Amino acid sequence: MAVVLTVACSDSIDVAHVDEAMYETSNESVAFITDKYGLSQADSLMFNEQGSTDFYVNLAKPADKDLAFMLSYDAAVLERYNAKHNTTIQALPKNLIQFDGNVNVKKAERKSAPVKIAYKSDEALQKNGVYAIPLKLTGDVKASEEKGEFVLLLRDITKMPNCHKEGGLQVISCMEINDANPLYNLCFTLEKSGKYFFDQVILFSGNINYNPETHEVYNFNNENISAVLNFREKYLAPLQQKGMKVILGILGNHDRAGVTNLSDEGCKHFAQELKNKVEAYQLDGVFFDDEWSKPGNYPGFENDKNNASRLAYETKKAMPDKLVEVYVYSGTQSLHSVEGKQPGEFIDFAIHDYGRNYDLSKNYPGLSKKGMIMASINCTSMYYLGSNAYRNIKTQGYGGTMFYALQPGARTSLEAMSMVSQAFFGENVVQQGVFNKDW
């Protein structure tokens, strides 16, 4: 029988990161469960129509012989979880789940092969509902009392509409991935239509760096950007499944490499590297921001001119079906023609700095108004313009606006979102749940 779950808007399926350091008892090993993301006890995922993930049986000490275990669906595990967390989450029906729970750990090993658990939606499940797969470990080695059970929390977004709203206005989230989980963008929808509020998510930020040994520039991504790229099926795919574009930010990183000072050949080389990254991680484009580089008179770099236009041109040439976006700031606050092409032919969006809303036709010749993102909002400082500015964006035919540094606990929240949404779409924004950083 299908079980329907009612989840209050205040319910959260956020999961705190658990330290996965192996532990030992004095005389015996213990077994415990982790998922593919290194979490124990619980994790939360979103899925659209169907999904799957991997689990592992782990040992505190290497196995002294081949060991057998059973990973089973156990409703009592969820009862204990709900009692501990004061929640009313119900189990995903067993007929919607498929896995073989027989697991082996070979002699001298401390970890099993992956156990794939697949799950799917059903018409009886609630729209945007949260369900659980409760798992229990038994076998040849005693299971840890704390980590021998696992609750996989799943938000089913199958019945949720996409983010495409009438008129094509873009609401862009430029998210500091050091501080926030991209899935948080899926917590905000329009009150009446149910459409997702955000249309793009910029992963802020990847970097442009210089390798002094090879004398080449390259894309560096820190541990936070790398986490969401490497586990794109968890953090990025749900956004794209609902129509959101996922964009890799490119920012200077305290060395000589920048988005403005590459040679023509360097622009071609870096554009090709970005193309490779975008394709490898199934992204939708790149966003250039000229900040935090250390310009100077360096051999092999352009020291007498701003070459950001060439970089944007080569990037669009390398991947014409992807989005190329720039920040209206510093060396990217205006671009010029390259090889007879106007900037509007090789960039898709120019995103204004906070509160700025002047027309950008002179900054980026050939760029249509739909490509001009106006009056950006800083969520950390609560800086944004009044409602008239956002109504003017719509009535004057501009492209939309941007929210910077959205994260749980940020001062700018539903008030600013609803102000923009009322101006753009005639609806307020509502929030359901929260996703904190969990890696």
CA atoms within 13 A on the CB side of 414: 11
Distance CA 182, CA 231 (A): 12
Contact predicate 262/303, CB 8 Å: no
- Per DSSP bridges, beta strands 170-176 and 97-98 are unpaired
- Coil/strand/helix, residue 95: helix
Contact predicate 303/309, CB 8 Å: no
Q: Which residue has the tokens 């969401």?
A: 228
One of 109, 216, 291, 345 is an active-site residue; which one?
291
Which tokens belong to 283? Answer: 């992204």
Please count the residues of the chain. 439
Element (H, E) at 345: helix 343-346
Residue 291 annotated in active site: yes
How many CB atoms are closer than 10 A to CB 393? 24
Residues 6+ apart with CB under 8 A from 53: 35, 36, 45, 116, 117, 152, 234
- Coil/strand/helix, residue 223: helix
Q: Between the CA of residue 138 and those of 69, 70, 101, 131, 149, what are the distances in Å?
A: 6, 5, 10, 23, 10
- Per DSSP bridges, beta strands 130-139 and 377-378 are unpaired
Distance CA 112, CA 182 (A): 30
- Coil/strand/helix, residue 44: strand
Task: Supply the residues annotated as catalytic.
Answer: 291
